[in-house]
Amino acid sequence: MAKPSSSLSVACLLGAIFLFSLAPQIHGGSIAIYWGQNGNEGTLAETCGTGNCDFVNIAFLCSFGSGQSPQLNLAGHCDPYSNACTNLTSDINLCQSKGVKVMLSIGGGAGGYSLKSEQDAADLALYIWNSFLGAVLDDVDFDIEGGNPDYYGALAAHLKSYSSKGNKDVYLSAAPQCPFPDQWVGKALDTGLFDYVWVQFYNNPLRQYVQGNPANLMDSWKQWTTGVHVKYIFLGLPAAPAAAGSGFIQAASLESRVLPALKGSSKYGGVMLWSKFYDDQDGYSSAIKNSV
């Protein structure tokens, strides 16, 4: 076979680079998981020790605003009323030593919380900084499913302002429902202050994966990736069928039918799972880790 000329080789190389630049860039993602709402899900250190997760959301700071004292509820893991939750510090440090970001999740599906004013938002931000962020935690997650939606943007702005006041960056995430825009944190997301958004693509049959048909999920995913100014968006899923009323995706279907389509987006960040307790039931995070 004749040796190709140098000019032809250069032309072929330039052509290959051009074609590569036109192709969708596929990249890997991370797994985020919620921990704290079941005393039988193991410790925080054990959660990070699996090696499957890059983010762990401690759930939840479920009471705040409207003049009430903020209250952490970790459902059997520890009793915050007796300051017993301070023993989590060593677990958090261990997680961080493994490169896992540990985030305080505020809100949740139960509990009493609402911000009634700008001052309410400023007071809560100061409490979170003094009690959690300034001490040991990395970030704040907004899992808001109730209360007045008007002041969560102010809360985000006040929390972000501590990046310049402290010696660390403050990162923010949110876990909206998949109908776009989200009725609770939609206004906050419009601020453009959030770094990660893990959308709950479950318990909403018209916008989630239907067995064998990802069309509804993909339409909703495109709404989120084009409608929100954020660096990374995650596919939020139940970690087992019992974790939600609907929306669970078998690992094989996730790998073959869903993730390849999502990874074409530059905003693809990975998968969020609810929750560690349910993940323990069938090892979902282990099953999907290499595909995410």
What's the sign of the alpha-carbon dihedral 237, 266, 138, 114?
negative
Question: Is 118 marked active-site?
Answer: no
Among the listed residues 41, 46, 145, 255, the single catalytic one is: 145
Cα–Cα dist 258/281, whole Å: 22
Which amino acid is residue 170, in one-letter code?
V
Q: List, by residue number, the catalytic residues.
A: 145
